[in-house]
């Protein structure tokens, strides 16, 4: 049955983390009724949603309960029960992005193979059922080992420079990738509607914390040349077209030292690299996602002002009730906006919130962000 936009459309979100929370906030502003499925009573999105179904994102019964109560269902994480969703989709429920696409994305090797088959440039890769020193040696160092399923925010990824680091490898079915000489990590939010309309947000640069392999800072616009920008847009758009994706997608790319653009991975959802769009773009990533899954025209993605987003990560050494140090001083910086996700506990490198700094001068924005980053600390209450 074709989906028709109507007053007080009911949207279901599988997962209630920070992405679900920000999506729910936008959905409420746009007049949607919001239900979430999340196992934690204190999930960030539970603060906003009209209805919270408490339960696992793998639980077939709970997924049915959510999908039955909604006109459209989407998700804020990819490690969910795609088989159950596929069965629900066959019954006629509207689930976007589609469970079939989700299955391709969930397995890093299947995803890479799909992209490579479509002619999209990716690093050299290979699947290994059992990661052994022999398998690593045969593939060749330096390499990056990635668990095929379930990894996120650098968990599930091990960089092995040489055989001397073999003890740092992870157990489980994996994909090996050549370690790319990265000049810059780039990301592009690509939205595609059910009618096939496609729009990209501005290309951004991601900077990673070297210790945790987690995205730390995002800068918009990316300072790359026109050809590199166009190539990034071409590759990312081609990937989303090939997947026939409906929704918004975070496409992670590498600009290599020798000037090539390679696709790293695709997140089938809103993405950390798109948070800056809340303050800096005409249509933010959350509204764009809602427009695409609801079958509405996509919004304009123009960058109104340069922006830098800084993640507020839990301090490496502590765990407990969170406390943010330096908030008053940071808020004195002109153009700074605060987002705290409302998580009840901080843990090492956990994403607890973010700030976005906008400035008409891109270098000023970067400088202010550096200052804010030094001032702000997520620690624990005494
Ligand atoms: N082939 C590669 N060569 C060099 N660095 C890589 C490679 N693959 C991943 N990385 C580094 O590890 C980070 C995390 O890897 P990624 O595959 O994006 O996993 P996830 O984001 O799911 O944790 C990347 O953002 C990048 O910094
Ligand atoms: Mg990644």
Q: How many Å apart are CA 378 and CA 347, to the nearest integer?
A: 9
Distance 154 CA to ligand 1 centre (A): 7
Domain annotation for the chain: domains and CATH numbers: 10-95 (3.40.50.20), 124-178 (3.30.1490.20), 182-380 (3.30.470.20)
- Nearest ligand, CA 108: 1
Distance 76 CA to ligand 1 centre (A): 20
Q: Which atom of ligand 1 is nearest to the CA of 154?
A: 23
Contacts 24+ apart (CB under 8 A), 39-44: 40/16, 42/342, 42/343, 42/344, 43/16, 43/17, 44/16, 44/17, 44/18, 44/20, 44/341, 44/342, 44/343
* Global confidence as pTM: 0.97
- Site to probe by mutation for ligand 1, drawn from 122, 187, 215, 264 as the one with most ligand atoms within 8 Å of Cβ, is 264
Half-sphere exposure of 278 (CA within 13 A, CB side): 23
Residue 26: count of CB within 10 angstroms of its CB: 21
Tokens of 379: 């620690």
Q: Where are the alpha helices (DSSP H) in 140-294?
A: 226-243, 277-280, 285-293
Distance 131 CA to ligand 1 centre (A): 18
Report pLDDT for 256.
Answer: 98
Q: What's the mean per-residue pLDDT of the chain?
A: 96
Report pLDDT for 1.
Answer: 62
Report pLDDT for 93.
Answer: 98
Q: Which atom of ligand 1 is nearest to the CA of 123?
A: 1
Residue 210: count of CB within 10 angstroms of its CB: 9
Query: Which phi and psi (to 5°) does residue 12 adopt?
Result: -110, 135
Q: How confident is the model at residue 5 (pLDDT cuts 50, 70, 90)?
A: confident
């Amino acid at each position: 049955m074709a989906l028709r936009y109507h007053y007080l459309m009911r949207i279901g979100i599988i997962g209630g983390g920070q992405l679900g929370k920000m999506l729910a906030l936008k959905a409420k502003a746009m007049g949607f009724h919001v239900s979430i499925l999340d196992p934690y009573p204190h999930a960030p999105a539970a603060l906003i949603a009209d209805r919270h179904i408490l339960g696992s994102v793998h639980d077939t019964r709970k997924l049915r309960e959510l999908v039955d109560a909604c006109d459209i269902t989407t998700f804020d994480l990819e490690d969910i029960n795609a088989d159950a969703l596929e069965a629900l989709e066959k019954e006629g429920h509207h689930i976007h992005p589609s469970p079939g696409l989700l299955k391709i994305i969930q397995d890093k090797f299947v995803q890479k193979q799909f992209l490579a088959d479509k002619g999209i440039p990716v690093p050299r890769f290979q699947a290994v059922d059992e990661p052994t020193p022999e398998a690593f040696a045969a593939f060749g160092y330096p390499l990056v080992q990635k668990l095929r399923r379930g990894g996120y925010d650098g968990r599930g990824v091990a960089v092995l420079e040489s055989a001397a680091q073999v003890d740092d490898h992870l157990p489980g079915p994996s994909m090996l990738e050549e370690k790319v000489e990265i000049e810059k990590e780039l990301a592009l939010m690509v939205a595609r509607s059910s009618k096939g309309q496609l729009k990209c947000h501005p290309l951004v640069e991601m900077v990673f914390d070297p210790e945790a392999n987690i995205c730390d800072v995002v800068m918009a616009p990316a300072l790359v040349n026109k050809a590199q920008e166009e190539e990034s847009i071409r590759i990312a758009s081609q990937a989303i077209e090939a997947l026939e994706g409906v929704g918004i997608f975070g496409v992670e790319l590498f600009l290599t030292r020798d000037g090539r653009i390679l696709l790293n991975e695709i997140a089938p959802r809103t993405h950390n690299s798109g948070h800056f769009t809340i303050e800096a773009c005409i249509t933010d990533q959350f509204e764009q996602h809602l427009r695409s899954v609801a079958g509405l025209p996509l919004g304009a993605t123009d960058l109104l002002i340069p922006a830098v987003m800084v993640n507020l990560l839990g301090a490496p050494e502590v765990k407990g009730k969170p406390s943010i140090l330096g908030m008053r001083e940071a808020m004195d910086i002109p153009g700074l906006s605060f987002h705290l996700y409302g998580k009840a506990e901080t843990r090492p490198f956990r994403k607890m919130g973010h700030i976005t700094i906008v400035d008409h001068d891109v270098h000023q924005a970067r400088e202010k962000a550096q200052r804010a980053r030094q001032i702000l600390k997520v620690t624990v209450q005494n």
